[in-house]
Amino acid sequence: MASAVRNDVEVLDEAAGKSAGLSLAPSRVRTVDKETVALTPAVPVMTGTHFHALDEKGRVIIPSKLRPALTEQFWMMLDHNDNVAIYNYQTGLDVFAHCESMIAEHPGDDDIAAAVEDTLSCAELVTAEGNWRVQVSEMLRFHAGLDKEVVTVGVLNHAVIWSRKKWEEVQEHRERNDDVRRMQAELLRAATSRSRTNGHEQARAVEAENRARQERQEQFAAATRRAEGAFSDLIAAVRAIGEEDSSTGHGRRSARSVALSKLGR
């Protein structure tokens, strides 16, 4: 009997330990946190198309919509289309680190060496003034063909400054390019499908966690009932032994019966 009580108490303790860490509110918080992480990029994104101009000194005002993703100091460098790419401070360092890694892994590759040189030869660390006006270096303006009117386009973790003339020519080409349109359609379909899939997976995960929590709570309740029943049986047995001992021995109770009777009090 005592062994049965001990086993049930161990099951009860184990269930209680598992149940102690369970709470519907924390589960929802964890789920919300996961959703937030999934929906919030590690680096704030830059989006939109912005038409503006360089001043007579070759300075440009960074559009307000792009500023939250930038740091007070950020990088300007030449991209693969000979436009001016804008990266926040840490992302620029990531670009440099990747360039260094590529050179180390492919020391004899002249194409990689030339690409790294083109990328870094015009790189400039700039500091935004109070109105977010920054100087575009003469070398960057020369390679990008920047004169007066410019277009700045946000592209996720960076932005690109185009000369307006060049940007309009590229847009005209893209409007006639069926491959670009098809790729854009595939990107949007894939992105929206993934969003629905992630939503279904999160819903299934929450449902599974709720079921598991319900099962553990039922196990805890069952273990509690078994332990209470076994303990009641033990108390009844102890009292029966005490009554039996007291009815014999001329009214004298043994030390064993006294001790057992105290357990029932």
Report residue 49's pLDDT band, with 50, 70 and 90 as the boundaries.
Answer: very high
Between CA 14 and CA 10 the distance in angstroms is 6
Query: 31-40, 96-105, 190-199, 211-220 — which is least confidently predicted?
Result: 31-40
State the Rg of the chain over Cα: 37
Closest CA to 205 of 16, 27, 45: 27
Q: Which residue has the tokens 């999160």?
A: 202
Percent pLDDT > 70 in the chain is 70
Global pTM? Answer: 0.55
Query: pLDDT per residue over 190-204, tens digit each?
Result: 876 665 555 566 667
CATH homologous superfamily of 49-176 equals: Transcriptional regulator MraZ domain (3.40.1550.20)
Per-residue pLDDT tens for 57-73? 999 999 999 999 998 89
Residue partners of 170: CB distance under 8 A and separation at least 6: 162
